[in-house]
Structure 1
Amino acid sequence: MKSLLSLALLLLFTGSCSAQKPHRCRTPPLLSGSLSVSAREGQDWAIAKYRYDAIGQRIRVWEFGHVDDRSFHLNMLFLFREGVVYSISYRNKTCQKNPLHTAFHPSHIPHNASLQSQVVLGGSSGPGEGLLVNTWTGDVPETGGKYMATVTEFGCIPVSTLYYTEQRGWMVTTYFNGVRGVEDPGEFIPPPFCDDVQTEEEMLDFYSALSEESMFNML
């Protein structure tokens, strides 16, 4: 996979850094940004905007991409405290509401993750030329997968994640334009045409809700 090779080369040539010993960290409780995902050697891909609220246990996702030779668009709102997920179409003024099975898990480096390296992405010759990041690795017993997660040393902002499953192989997620906070909290409120929608019987978890259309694992 070209993207995987590029990341491997990037980590190889950036070298190590002599800063303080990296520590496992937790992503800021309010975060906005964008991400891209690719799998199956780039045959499947998606680009998304997201809003993350660990305080209210809410996630909003706007996503488009190409999977299994077809294009898709998603607009989803996950309300973990209420136990529901909305699939929203503003174009058609329609809304689907499903029970949400998954409990909310704040984005963080797991306690059993192992530090692989601390490097400077970009340059280290002068201030502002590079970004100090930590890369952690670990297993996901629930899925039998494994991951490699890179976050900034200062702030614990996600940079990239490599995630492996037998079904999809390696999936590469790159995060960009991350900003602390959520500018418009109203984005976590379902639109009025969702008010009278009946809850579907099918129960979803966070990953299956996204994979219904995109088959991608996100955060």
Structure 2
Amino acid sequence: MPSRKMYSAVTLFVCLCLTATTLADHHEPCRKNVNLNRGIAAMGTYTYDSVAEKLRFRTNETEMFNNSLSLDVLMFFEEGVFYKIDSKNQSCEKKSLQSVQHPLEIPSDAKLLSTVTLGSVALEGEGLKAKIWQGTLPVTKTGYTITTTVGCLPISALYTCDSTTLLFSNLQVETEVKDPDLLTLPSFCEGEPLEETPEGTVNSFLNEFI
């Protein structure tokens, strides 16, 4: 099983594909009321410290990529809480985490499906050896396929539940946290009361995108 590493990924591309409309069901966390004509996509940066188990994700506002989702979240997986941050208005929401699985971390019960080469094995320098892991998240009953390098750096993660497919794809991965302040709670969030979680709701990093 891969060892835990500290790393910061510069760019994260997130795409949500909806193939059919499902009905909300409080007993099945993955099911959502969705509009078939609404697609969600986001490009942003995230910083993740696997030792402290903290993650910060912020969408980028660029002309090159028009995000339909604006998001700034700070996750404290060990504490089981996260903050939705609005820096412009100096406000935030504090919520509990029912699922503490980081979407690009390989679960301990994941099964190694295969080792493949992305690109060409015939041309020198034109191929990347990668491992493909599969499994199901127990809390949300979501199936996943995670692709990593042999050294366990994340390349992509595909999550499926009912008719929803969520794809995370990494670019320009770095192996150290260069700005630790990104993982520090902003002063205007300190003392924020924990919001009550409605019955049947499952708060997780993944659910912020579906």
Show structure 1 runs of 5+ residues with no match. Answer: 1-23
Counterpart residue type for residue 135 of structure 1: I
Match of 1:86 in 2: 83
CA offset digits 1:83-105 (Å, max 9, x no partner): 33111111111122223344466
TM (normalized to structure 2)? 0.72
State whether structure 2 residue 31 is matched by structure 1 residue 34: no
Offset of residue 193 of structure 1: 1.6
Q: CA RMSD in A?
A: 2.9
How far off its partner does 1:31 sit?
A: 3.0
- Number of residue-to-residue matches in the alignment: 183
Give the CA deviation at 1:131: 1.0
User: Deviation at 1:180?
Assistant: 0.4
Structure with the higher helix share, 1 or 2: 1
Q: Distance in 2 between matches of 1:51 and 1:163?
A: 20
Question: Aligned match of 2:184 in 189, 200, 204?
Answer: 189
Instruction: State the match for 1:50 in structure 2.
Output: 46
CA contact under 8 A between 2:129 and 2:149: conserved in structure 1?
yes
User: Would you say 1:173 and 2:168 are equivalent positions?
Assistant: yes
- Contact 2:96/2:203 (<8 A) preserved: no
- 2 CA distance for matches of 1:43 and 1:171? 11
- Shift of the 148–99 alpha-carbon distance from structure 1 to 2, 3 Å rule, reads closer
Alignment of 1:1-219 (within 5 A): 24-38=1-15, 39-40=17-18, 43-63=39-59, 71-103=68-100, 107-108=105-106, 110-115=108-113, 117-153=114-150, 155-168=151-164, 170-202=165-197, 206-207=203-204, 211-212=207-208, 214-215=209-210
> Compared with structure 1, are the counterparts of its residues 27 and 133 closer, same or farther at alpha carbon in structure 2 (3 Å cutoff)?
farther
Contact in 2 for aligned 1:80/1:100 (Cα 8 Å): yes
Q: Would the aligned equivalents of 1:147 and 1:162 in 2 still touch at CA under 8 Å?
A: yes
Per the alignment, in what secondary structure is the counterpart of residue 71 of structure 1?
coil
TM-score, normalising length: structure 1: 0.70
Corresponding position of 1:15: none
1:28 shift after superposition: 1.8
* Gapped regions of structure 2 (runs ≥ 5): 20-37, 62-66
Residue-by-residue CA offset, 1:122-164 (whole Å, 9 max, x unaligned):
23234422211112223334333322221111x2111122221
Amino acid at match of 1:108: I
AA matched with 2:185 = P
Structure showing greater relative contact order (alpha-carbon pairs closer than 8 Å, 6 or more residues apart): 2
- 8 Å CA contact 1:57, 1:104 repeated in 2: no
Distance 1:141 1:90, change over 3 A: closer
- List per-residue Cα deviations over 1:176-216 (Å, max 9, x = no partner): 11110100111111122222433323377552x6535x31x
